[in-house]
Amino acid sequence: MTVHQVQLAAAAATDVGLVRRANEDSALAQWPVYAVADGMGGYEAGDRASAAVIDAFRAHVAGNEVASIAQVRAALADATLAVAAVAETTERGAGSTITGVALVDDDGEPAWLVFNVGDSRVYRHHGTELEQLTVDHSLAQELVDAGELKPEDREQFAQRNVITRAIGGPDSTADSWLLPVVNGERLLICSDGLTGEVSDEGIRATLTMGGRAESVAHALVQRARQAGGRDNITVVVVDVISGGIDEQSDATTGVVRGADAAASDDDHTTIPVRSRS
């Protein structure tokens, strides 16, 4: 099986929500990369920051027959420079999360390179099961990991929106994982405007309903609006139609072999690739 045999259906949906003055989210759903960026810095900079990050991925990754770690690394480096340029024009500075997936070739087999900076998320839905693939770079997640905050109390935590990594921040290191492409799986990439309003169970139920990627994406956005819509809401839904493996248990993944994923310490764009079973 090769990357060229993979067939996908993808859709993106975004909404300003019911409270915010402007939409500071941006999204990309163009083979072979699917991503969401959530900007920070207020209405005069957040939208520009997220757009700059997505533009970097559009320039380096989108439209290629297959993505590579080098392309993703270059996109992250250019995104860092672009957000810094935006920040120089504002008093409050600027930053952005970035999370997504890129279709790569792993020794002749199609695989997902999942990458993340910040607290936007990537989920994987297969059958009726939902799994969060990314780990939030947030104060709340750090407290959960330290055993000082219960996972179920995260949404009531007063500083739940404080993030510890961002493009444009002191630490913009991207975590990444390599996963098999599985027939019938549905990937969800979303900003915290969805996860802040809709529980994982609510997300799972909506993804399980089935239907086209477009209808599911819009249903998720509407669900977040109905729950309060206190933030911008952006989702990208990616369905694997064919060309992957039939069962995830058939896959073997590991660190990308022969690939130099390290960037310099100065630009903070290192993406250490880990396997995730």
Query: How confident is the model at residue 140, as a pLDDT?
Result: 76
Question: For residue 100, is it within any domain?
Answer: yes
Contacts of 39 (CB under 8 A, 6+ apart): 24, 25, 26, 45, 46, 47, 48, 49, 50, 51, 53, 94, 95, 96
- 168-201: burial string, b at 16+ Cβ within 10 Å, e else: bbeebbbbbbbbbbbbebbbbbbbbbbbbbbeee
Q: Is 44 exposed, middle or buried (0-12, 13-18, 19+ CB in 10 A)?
A: middle
CA terminus-to-terminus distance, the chain = 20
pLDDT score at 247? 76
Residue 94 located in a structural domain = yes
In the beta sheet, which residues pair with residue 129?
126
Do the domain assignments include residue 77?
yes
Whichever domain contains 198, its CATH number is 3.60.40.10
Taking alpha carbons only, the member of 30, 67, 12, 27 closest to residue 237 is: 12
Q: How far apart are CA 204 and CA 226, in angstroms?
A: 17
* pLDDT by 10s per residue, the chain, length 277: 688 899 999 999 999 999 999 999 999 999 999 999 999 977 679 999 999 999 999 999 999 999 999 999 999 999 999 999 999 998 888 999 999 999 999 999 999 999 999 999 999 999 999 999 999 997 877 787 788 787 766 666 666 678 899 999 999 999 999 999 999 999 999 999 999 999 999 999 999 987 999 999 999 999 999 999 999 999 999 999 999 999 755 443 433 323 333 333 343 344 645 444 4
Say if CB 76 and CB 54 are below 8 A apart. Answer: no
Question: Residue 259 has what DSSP assignment?
Answer: -
Query: Is 262 a member of any domain?
Result: no
Cβ pair 276, 34 in contact under 8 A: no
| Residue 120 within any structural domain of the chain | yes
pLDDT at 11: 98
Beta-strand relationship, 98-106 and 95-96:
unpaired
What pLDDT is stored for residue 109 in this prediction?
94
Could you give the CA distance from residue 165 to residue 235 in angstroms, rounded to a whole number?
21
Instruction: Give domain status of residue 1, yes or no.
Output: no
Q: Is residue 28 classed as helix, strand or coil in its secondary structure?
A: strand
Evaluate whether residue 260 is within a structural domain.
no
pTM of the predicted structure, to 2 decimals: 0.89
Both tokens assigned to 258? 């022969």
Residue 204 belongs to what domain range? Answer: 7-242
Burial label for 249, CB within 10 Å (0-12, 13-18, 19+), is exposed
Q: How many domains would you assign to the chain?
A: 1
What is the pLDDT at residue 150?
78
